Homo-oligomer: A and B are copies of this chain.
Amino acid sequence: MHRSAFGALGREVRTKNISERVQRIVLSPIKEMSILADEVRQDTGATIVSFGQGIPYFDTPEYIKEGIRAALQERDTARYTLEPGITELRELVAKDLMARKGVENVKFSREVMISSGCQEAVMCALVTVVDEGDEVLLLSPSFASYSEQILQLGGVPVFVPLDEDRGWHLNKEALLEKVSPKTKAILFSHPSNPTGTVFAQEELRILADLAKEHDLVLITDETYDFLVYEGKTHVSPASFSDIRDRVILCGSFSKKYALTGYRVGYAFAEQGIMAHMLKVHDALAICAPAISQKAVITALRGDQKSVAEFVEKLTENRELMCKKLDELSGFFEYKKPQGAYYILAKYQKSGLGSAELAVKILQEAKVVTIPGVAFGPYGEGHLRFSFACSPEEIDEGFQRLRVWTETLGK
């Protein structure tokens, strides 16, 4: 079993002068597939349909672009912002966390940082709690980069299987089994990328109680908090007052406002934790991009109509992709996601690992999917499909997949 698509292709690696920590990690197959797709496109001239990296097909809303144009007139846009972020933006984020998520009494100047995307915020959180040999529980399948971030620190990612049969929800027994004296934190995305799970209040309570009992930090990645389906409610564990001081809440503006390219996110933590995270943020990034921070100031001040429109379109895409997958039920089966914009579909026994399969589908059908192994061992045997692309791309991609699966039997 290959953990990476490049590995599946047998690419060589240098070991001389290279740290052991970095030899242990892989490039996220999410990014590998984008790079390979670009190579296939250049080599063959084919257009590629991508269900890979989760990028909304909409453009940045016009009112946000207006804000960016206005920012270009301001001298300080060219300059580093304060290291924790622009004060006004931290204040807006604090208000949003209180209003929308019910986090209590957020002190914007001590408990909020603006990061270079959610990825960097999670990294700051991990550096702050993980020493060499420490374990972090990952509700798994889990976002690809978490395990690489932990391994890079000399920490140990411990994969806790979610219950696929119950729609990838929490398996309390499996969770309790994996806690050890070396456990320092639990990290999960919620709604979950790649499974689409929206964890219920009771599940979050189990995690909260476990964190208290074992003195753990709960790190949440709430990038997709705005995107839940069928009347589900997103609850943030940061709103539980008894664990407010042991939650690190990481978030993003990338998906909500179609700003993935702008690299801007945030984190909230109790000020004692945040003071340490800010030291890491400095060493990794200095500050988040000023123009992106200003884009988000505009975004958060707007009427949020564009968000409602995005959710509506993505809800339609979800239905469309489920229908298309149903038509290929001989090859794929899946649980309908409750949030985010991914489907982690199990594929029929094909004798191939998911990395090999994803590369084969790219090469033969010119469709990008993400190998499930990217999300840890419990993701193996699956492919992740993003339905953030346009409906036309979903149509075209599944047309290609249908033709491709038909050739398989021959």
Answer yes or no: A157 CB below 8 A from chain B CBs: no
Interface residues of A in 12-48 (CB under 8 A from B): 13-14, 16-23, 25-28, 31, 34-35, 38
Contact with B along A111-123 (1 / 0, CB 8 A): 0000011011001
List chain B residues, Cβ under 8 A from A26.
Answer: 279
Selected A-B contacts with CB under 8 Å, 10 pairs: A14-B276, A18-B273, A22-B128, A27-B83, A65-B72, A68-B291, A80-B260, A119-B284, A127-B152, A148-B279
B276 adjacent to A289 (CB under 8 Å): no
B78–A120 CB distance below 8 A: no
Quote the shortest CB–CB distance from A147 to chain B (angstroms). Answer: 9
Give bound CA distance, A387 to B7, whole Å.
Answer: 49
The answer for the CA separation of A280 and B19 in the assembled complex, in Å, is 12
In whole angstroms, how far apart are the Cα atoms of A59 and B21 in the complex? 41
Give the CA-CA distance A120 to B119 in the complex, in Å.
Answer: 13
Q: How far is the CA of A280 from the CA of B258 in the complex (A)?
A: 25
Cβ-based interface call for A55 (8 A): yes
Q: Select the stretch in A130-138, A342-350, A375-383 that faces chain B.
A: A130-138
Docked Cα-Cα span, A27 to B117, in Å, equals 20
Whether B261 contacts A76 by the Cβ 8 Å rule is yes
A19-B134, A78-B259 are known contacts. Are A289 and B289 too (CB-CB below 8 A)?
yes
| A11 CB contacts on chain B under 8 angstroms | 275
Residues of B within 8 A of A23 (CB): 276
- Asked whether, in the complex, the Cβ of A119 is within 8 Å of the Cβ of B19, the reply is no
* From A82, A128, A272, A283, residue with most partner B Cβ within 10 Å: A283
Q: Is A290 an interface residue (CB 8 A)?
A: yes
0/1 interface trace, chain A 127-155, chain B, CB 8 Å (1 if under): 11111101000000000010011001110
What is the CA–CA distance of A53 and B276 in the complex, to the nearest angstrom? 21
Interface residues on A, range: 35 or more
Q: Which residues of B contact A59 (CB under 8 A)?
A: 75, 78
Query: Is A182 close to B, CB under 8 A?
Result: no
Q: How far is the CB of A39 from chain B (nearest CB, A)?
A: 9
Which residue of B14, B84, B120, B287 contacts A272 across the interface (Cβ within 8 Å)?
B14
Pair B80/A53 contact, Cβ less than 8 Å: yes
A153 CB, nearest partner CB in chain B, Å: 8
CB nearest to A14 among chain B residues? B272
Interface residues in A152-184 (C-beta closer than 8 Å to B)? 152-154, 184
CB neighbours of A354 from chain B (8 A): none
With contacts A127-B152, A261-B79 known, is A283 near B35, CB below 8 A?
Answer: no
A282 to B143, CA, bound (A): 13
Given contacts A120-B285, A285-B116, contact A25 B279 (CB under 8 A): yes
For chain A residues 279-321, which have a beta carbon within 8 Å of chain B? 279-280, 282-292
CB distance from A10 to the nearest CB of B (A): 14
Beyond A31-B282, A148-B282, list 14 extra A-B contacts (CB 8 Å).
A11-B275, A21-B131, A25-B279, A55-B80, A69-B72, A81-B261, A119-B284, A123-B283, A148-B279, A148-B283, A152-B283, A153-B153, A284-B285, A291-B291
In the complex, what's the smallest C-beta–C-beta distance from A339 to chain B, in angstroms? 21
Q: Does A256 contact B (CB under 8 A)?
A: no
Is A246 an interface position by the 8 A CB rule? yes
Is A217 interfacial (CB-CB < 8 Å)?
yes
**Chain B, residue nearest A278 (CB):** B27
Q: Is A262 an interface residue (CB 8 A)?
A: yes
- Collect the chain B residues with CB atoms within 8 Å of residue A283's CB: 25, 28, 119, 123, 145, 148-149, 152
Q: Which residue of the partner chain, among B82, B284, B292, contacts A120 with CB atoms under 8 Å?
A: B284
Kindly list chain B residues whose C-beta atoms are within 8 Å of the C-beta of A276. Answer: 13-14, 18, 22-23
Q: Give chain A interface residues in 73-119, CB to chain B under 8 Å.
A: 75-84, 87, 116-117, 119
